[in-house]
Structure 1
Amino acid sequence: MSKIINQMPPSFSQKLVTHKPSLQEDNRRFLGFTIGDSLNALIPLMDLRATIKISLAEILPVPKMNESLLGIINYGGKATWVLDLAHLMGGSGYLSKSQLTTGMGMLFQIQNETVALLIDRVGTIETYDLQQCLPIGEAMFADRMRSFLSGYFIDAEQQSRVVIDIKQVIHTII
């Protein structure tokens, strides 16, 4: 069974309610993660609904679908699509790593569907100034990958952090 991992103790979550981030703060916060072995990526935190641990054995394959759609899982009593983000972006894909039995799912609500992007691990919440978001150059990535990116930031260690365009990712598979 998929398990929510981002739950906090009641006393901690009650303290969080006292500070509601402004829209400007929400637009600046991103969840960091890695795609494949080395691509550092970000997803706008305001788009994220939850992060869950997914057992690969729980994914029910659905025939005749986009090969990046691994299948569905039961999450909260509803069918939730599981998408291999690395494969969709042109990488070798999550299931090619035969030693893995679980992964992390980042859940997004798109229209009436819940979609989980399957990745290796979730990183930290990071804050960036949207004014500092740089455009993706044509020579930086292959066309397939570039179509899913909305820009990138340079972090404190001078590493690039690409921003995933979640609407474009979902639009491609629906």
Structure 2
Amino acid sequence: MASNPELFIGSDQDFSLELQTLSNPEGELHLRFFLPSGKEFALPATGIAEVLQQAPDEIAPIPNASPLLLGTINLRGKIVWVADLCQFLGDSGSLNTDRPTIPVIAIENQEQVLGLAIEKIGDMDWLDLDNLEAVSELLDSMTPFVSGQWQWQREELEVLNLLDSSKILRSARWAA
């Protein structure tokens, strides 16, 4: 009964379906995002627990915590620290927290979860790791956390930096 085309379109209409061929994407799925300075980064989708828009007043500040941390949020009953990724990486920009919501990427590795507050969420893209190049022209403070770079040719040559979420989670910078 549910396969009867008359249920979905009138019996007097022509019932035709166009089959589209789906191409297999090359590479692995990554989330692209931006820091306040405009630098573009990517994280593998497999290491992302969740992407959310968090109201600044729902990030609870913690006294005497590292200046890299904005505070904590409740993520489905679990308390998660939220870090200012711009500050953590030593980027030149400054995260604007005076807005209705802040994009937060919750990264996860071996049951450790950390929220990374960023400037702007980009797109999900299939990126080929075979095209990953060595890190060049990047701040020394960022280099330990970047696995490589892709060169993009748009209006001008742009660089997309691949972050290693496990190195971010295990960084000694959190103890400072």
TM class by smaller structure: 0.7 to 0.9
Residues 6-17 of structure 1: pairs in structure 2 closer than 5 A: none
Residue in 1 aligned with 2:144? 147
Residue in 2 aligned with 1:46? 46
Larger CA deviation: 97-106 vs 31-40? 97-106
Letter in 1 for 2:64: K
What do you get for the CA RMSD once the two structures are aligned?
2.1
Question: How far off its partner does 1:80 sit?
Answer: 0.9
**Which structure would you say has the larger Rg?**
2
Residue in 2 aligned with 1:135? 134
Q: Percent identity?
A: 22
Alpha-carbon distance between aligned partners in 2 of 1:46 and 1:103, rounded to the nearest angstrom: 22
Mapped contact 2:51–2:104 kept (Cα < 8 A): yes
Question: How far off its partner does 1:145 sit?
Answer: 1.4
TM-score (norm 1): 0.76
Residue in 2 aligned with 1:35? 35
Question: How far off its partner does 1:64 sit?
Answer: 2.7
Residue in 1 aligned with 2:70? 70
Residue in 2 aligned with 1:166? 165
Mapped contact 1:85–1:93 kept (Cα < 8 A): no
TM-score (norm 2): 0.75
Alpha-carbon distance between aligned partners in 2 of 1:66 and 1:151, rounded to the nearest angstrom: 28
Q: How many residues align?
A: 147
Question: How far off its partner does 1:133 sit?
Answer: 0.3
Question: How far off its partner does 1:170 sit?
Answer: 1.2
Residue in 1 aligned with 2:80? 80
Mapped contact 1:149–1:165 kept (Cα < 8 A): yes
Question: How far off its partner does 1:98 sit?
Answer: 5.5
Q: Are the structure 2 counterparts of residues 62 and 111 from structure 1 closer, same or farther at C-alpha, using a change threshold of 3 Å?
A: farther
Residue in 1 aligned with 2:8? none
Alpha-carbon distance between aligned partners in 1 of 2:55 and 2:90, rounded to the nearest angstrom: 23
From the two aligned structures, give the one with the greater helix fraction.
Answer: 1
Unaligned runs of 5+ in 2: 1-23
Alpha-carbon distance between aligned partners in 1 of 2:111 and 2:46, rounded to the nearest angstrom: 17
Mapped contact 1:84–1:118 kept (Cα < 8 A): yes
SS of match in other structure, 1:155:
strand
Question: How far off its partner does 1:156 sit?
Answer: 4.4
SS of match in other structure, 2:133:
coil
Alpha-carbon distance between aligned partners in 2 of 1:93 and 1:111, rounded to the nearest angstrom: 30
Larger CA deviation: 127-136 vs 111-120? 111-120
Alpha-carbon distance between aligned partners in 2 of 1:161 and 1:48, rounded to the nearest angstrom: 18
